Structure 1
C-alpha cells in the first residue's frame, strides 16, 4: 500500500470514528454500537478496509497497547472508598452474580457451540462485563427509579476492571495448563502482575504527591509508564501485563493525597480516540463466514445469556435484599455488554490463534453478536418494560446547575427545598467543597466533558441551569444538554444588553427563550447584590395577597423574580420572554434587597 493511501486510510478512520461518536450522542445510543456497525460495513461488507494489510505485524502490538490503556482507564475509577458505600446488592451482583453468569454462559457455550471447555470458560468470563459507556446512555433514555439506576450504574463502573482481571486470570490459567506448566507458573504470572503494578502505582503516586513533575508532563508521564509497565511485565512473564496495568490504576485511584484530575482529563480524549479506532479495526477484521459458522447455536446462546444467565445471577445474588420482585425483573433484563468485552475478545482471540487453539477465531464474532444484540434489544425494550413494571421515573423535576459559585449555591439551596434533586457541577474545587458543606449534591469536573457523559448521574434531573460567570460557557453547556433535557428545559444566564438594535448583536428567538431572569441580569449583577445583602426569599401568594400586592410590598426596594413554584411543586424559572400565569397558592422565589 502506498504511503499516501496509508495516511488517507488512517485519517479516514479518524473522521469515521468522529462521525459515529457524534451520531451516537445525537441518538442517545452507546457509541460502540455504531462503531461496530461501521467497521462491519467498511470491512467484510464493502471490502474497502483490511487492517491486516494496513498494519501488518504491528496490528497485534497496537491492539495490545490500546487494550492496556483502556483497562488502566477503567481501573482509575475503582475507588475502594466508593465500594464501601455501594449498596450490598451491588457487591453481590459484581461478585456472586458475575460468577453465576460466567458458569451458565460457559456451560451453554460448550454444549451449544461445541467449544472446548477452556475456550467456553474464557468466553464466559469475557461476557460478564457491562461498563458505564453502554449503561449510562441507556439509563438516560430509560429513566428507571433512582435506586435501580444507581445499582446498574455502579455495577457498570465496578465490573469493568474487576471483570478485566477475571478474564486475564482465566486466560493465564488456560495458557499455563495448555503448556503443561505447573500451578507455580500460573502463580508466577499473578505475582509479576501484582508486584509490577503495585510498584508502578506507588512510584507514580509518590511522584505526583511530591510534585516532582510539572503539571503539563503528568499525563504524558503516566501514559509512558503504563505502556512500559505493560511491556515490561509481559517480558518478565507472558500475559502479566494486563493485570499489572489494572493493579497500577487501582493503586492510583486509592492513593491518598494524590490529585489525578489531569490524568483523568487526558485519558478522556485518549480513550475516545483509542476506542473509536480500535472498534473500527476489530469489526472490519471479522469475516462474514464466521457469523455463518456460528449458526443457530449462537442465537440460542444469546437467548440463554439474556433470559437465563442474567436473571439467575440477579435473583440469586439479591436473594436476601430488600428489592421488590418487579425491581429484580427490571435488573434481570438490563445488562448490555460493552468495550471491555469486545477489546478483550479481540486481543485474546489473536493470542489463541497464534497458539493454534481451534475455534479461537470465533470468539470475536460471537462476542460482537452478544454486544450488538444486548445493546439493540435493551435500548428498544428497556423503557417500555420499566413502564410496564412500574419502575420508571415520572417526568424528572430536578436541576443540573452548571457552576458551584456563590450565586449558584444559593439558587441550588433554594430549589432543594421543593423536594427535587439538585446537582451542582464545577471544576473549581473550592466551590465544590463549599457546595458539599452546604449540603448540595455535587459533580467535580467539567459538565460538558466525556467523563461527565459517562459518570454524571442525571437520574431524576430534567432541567439545566447554566449559572457560571462565563456566558459563552453557559451557551456551550446549554447546547450540550439540549438532547438530554429538551430545549424547553434549558436555561442560562446571559446578561447581554441589546442596545444596538442590529441583528448581529441580538440572539435568536430560540436562544432568547432560555435566558434567565432578565436580559440585563448577569452573574456579576446577582453576585454584587448578594454581597450587598440581598437574599433569596420565598413568598406564597393567595387570593388576598396577589402578585401585584407582592411587587407593591417591595416597591421601595429591589426584587428580581427567579422562579415560581406551582401547587404540585413544579418549578418554573422566569426567563426573558416567559409568560407565567402565577395563581393563588403558588410560591415566588426572588432575590430581594430591602431599601437602605
Structure 2
C-alpha cells in the first residue's frame, strides 16, 4: 500500500511539473521555478505536509541526475561551431569560477562577518553558472546572440560545474579540518583522471558500437546510459572529477557520427528533462519557508555580491585579456551568469558532508538561485536587446 501511494505521488509530481512547463510559457515564468514551487507545495509547509530533510539521500539522487544534465550539456555542444571560442569559455569556466568563489568569499567575510571556512563554502558552491537556466531563457525568447556569445555561454556554463565541484570538495575539507594538505594532489587527480576516463570511455563506447557490432541499434539508449553511468563511477573510484568525465564524454559522443544519433538525442533530452524535474522538485521539497525568512537578508546580500561584484569583476578581468574584446559582450556574459540546479546540488552535498554545516547554507543558495533564475533571467532578453546583442536567426 505504501509503495502504491509513493508511485501515485511520483506520477502526480511528474504530471504537475510537465504541465507547469507549458504553463510557464503563458505566464512568462521560468519553468524551473515552477518545478521548485511544486516541491514547496509538497513540502512540510505546503498543502501535502511531507516532512523531508534527508540531505544525504537528496545528495545521492541529485548527484546522479546532475550526471545526465552534465552529459547532455556536452552532447548538445557543437564543437566545430564553438571551437574558436573554447579558449575564452574555458578560462571563464575555470579561472573565472575560482575568482568568483574567492571574491564572494571575501565579501561574505568582510560584509557579513563570516568565518573564512563558512564564506569559502558559500563562494564555492555558488561559483558555477547553470546552462539549463541560461538557454531556457534564450530559447524561450527566440534570442540568438552576436559575436559568438552563445557558444561562449554554452561552453562556459556547460563546463564550469567540475571546477565548482572541486572547489566544494576543498571547501568541505577546510570546514571539516581534514585533507587541506593534499589540495595540489587532489586537483591533479581530479583533472588528470577525469580527462583520461572521459576520453577513454568515449573511445571504448564508440569502438564497441561501431567495430564489434555487439550492440543492437534498438538497445543503443540502454547502452549509452550504462556507459555514462560507468564513466561517472569509474572516474569517482579513481579519485577523478566524475562530472568532468561525463561532460567530456558528452562532447565526444555528441560530435561523433553513428546511425542512432538523432534518436539518442531525443532520448537524452527526455532524460535531461526528467532529471531537471527531479532536482528542482527535491530542492523545493527540502526547503523550509520559516528558515528561509530568517536568513533572507544574508541571502539577498550574497545575491547582490555575486551578481554585481563577483561575476562582473571575473568576466571583465578575464575577457579583457583576449583580443577583440567588446564591452557590450562582456556586459551580457556577466549578466548571463545565472545560478541554478548545480549550485543547489553542491550546497546539498556540502551540508551532507560537513560535520558542522547547517541548513542555512542550502537555504541561502536556494534563495540566490531562485532570484537569479527569476529576476536575472527575466531581465536577460531586454538587456541583450538594449546592448544590441540580439541577432535574429534569419540575419547574417
1:33-77, CA deviations, whole angstroms, 9 ceiling, x for partnerless residues?
A: 211122223214315253748x99854432332222222222324
Q: Point out the structure with max Rg over C-alpha.
A: 1
1:191-233, CA deviations, whole angstroms, 9 ceiling, x for partnerless residues?
A: 5544443432221121123243121111111212222343444
Are 1:154 and 2:151 counterparts? yes
CA contact (8 A) 1:142 1:382 kept: no
Give 1:272 deviation, angstroms: 0.7
> Hey, what does 2:165 align to over in structure 1?
168
Give the SS at the match of 2:355.
coil
> Hey, what does 1:301 align to over in structure 2?
302
Change beyond 3 A, Cα 1:157–1:47: same
Matches of residues 104-119 of structure 1 in structure 2 within 5 Å? Answer: 104-119=103-118
CA contact (8 A) 1:102 1:127 kept: yes
Give the SS at the match of 1:34.
helix
CA contact (8 A) 1:341 1:367 kept: yes
Change beyond 3 A, Cα 1:64–1:332: closer
1:334-393, CA deviations, whole angstroms, 9 ceiling, x for partnerless residues?
A: 3322333333333x13532xx41334x233222221222122223443454455x45265
> Hey, what does 2:134 align to over in structure 1?
135
Instruction: State which of 375, 388, 392 in structure 2 corresponds to 1:377.
Output: 375
Q: Residues of 1 paired with 2:190 and 2:135: CA distance? A: 34
1:515-570, CA deviations, whole angstroms, 9 ceiling, x for partnerless residues?
A: xxxxxxxxxxxxxxxxxxxxxxxxxxxxxxxxxxxxxxxxxxxxxxxxxxxxxxxx
> Hey, what does 1:267 align to over in structure 2?
268
Give the unaligned 5+ runs of structure 2: none
Q: Residues of 1 paired with 2:237 and 2:380: CA distance? A: 45
Give the SS at the match of 2:356.
coil
CA contact (8 A) 1:129 1:337 kept: yes
CA contact (8 A) 2:129 2:339 kept: yes
Give the SS at the match of 1:86.
helix
Q: Residues of 2 paired with 1:38 and 1:219: CA distance? A: 29
> Hey, what does 1:41 align to over in structure 2?
41
CA contact (8 A) 2:170 2:180 kept: no
> Hey, what does 2:289 align to over in structure 1?
288
Are 1:2 and 2:2 counterparts? yes
Give 1:134 deviation, angstroms: 2.0
1:53-108, CA deviations, whole angstroms, 9 ceiling, x for partnerless residues?
A: 8x998544323322222222223245654442228755554455444323222322
Give 1:120 deviation, angstroms: 3.3
Give 1:18 deviation, angstroms: 0.9
Give the SS at the match of 1:45.
coil
CA contact (8 A) 1:190 1:240 kept: yes
Change beyond 3 A, Cα 1:108–1:78: farther
Change beyond 3 A, Cα 1:141–1:182: closer
Mean Cα displacement is larger for which, 67-76 or 10-19? Answer: 67-76
> Hey, what does 2:340 align to over in structure 1?
338
Change beyond 3 A, Cα 1:371–1:393: same
Q: Residues of 1 paired with 2:160 and 2:262: CA distance? A: 24
Matches of residues 337-486 of structure 1 in structure 2 within 5 Å? Answer: 337-346=339-348, 348-352=349-353, 355-359=354-358, 361-386=359-384, 389=386, 391=388, 393=390, 420=395
CA contact (8 A) 1:194 1:247 kept: yes
> Hey, what does 1:218 align to over in structure 2?
220
> Hey, what does 2:119 align to over in structure 1?
120
CA contact (8 A) 1:68 1:242 kept: yes
Q: Residues of 2 paired with 1:242 and 1:331: CA distance? A: 23
Give 1:235 deviation, angstroms: 4.5
CA contact (8 A) 1:386 1:392 kept: yes
1:389-418, CA deviations, whole angstroms, 9 ceiling, x for partnerless residues?
A: 452659x5x65xxxxxxxxxxxxxxxxxxx
Give the SS at the match of 2:160.
helix
> Hey, what does 1:276 align to over in structure 2?
277
Change beyond 3 A, Cα 1:58–1:372: closer
Q: Residues of 1 paired with 2:383 and 2:234: CA distance? A: 48
CA contact (8 A) 1:219 1:263 kept: yes
More helix, by proportion: 2
Q: What is the RMSD computed on CA atoms of the aligned residues?
A: 3.5
Q: Residues of 2 paired with 1:200 and 1:87: CA distance? A: 22
Give the SS at the match of 2:146.
helix
Matched pairs, number: 390
Give 1:269 deviation, angstroms: 0.6
User: TM-score under structure 2 normalisation?
Assistant: 0.82
Change beyond 3 A, Cα 1:86–1:188: closer
Give the unaligned 5+ runs of structure 1: 400-419, 422-596
More strand, by proportion: 1
Q: Residues of 2 paired with 1:293 and 1:259: CA distance? A: 51
Give 1:280 deviation, angstroms: 0.8
Change beyond 3 A, Cα 1:290–1:336: same
> Hey, what does 1:538 align to over in structure 2?
none
Give the SS at the match of 2:373.
helix
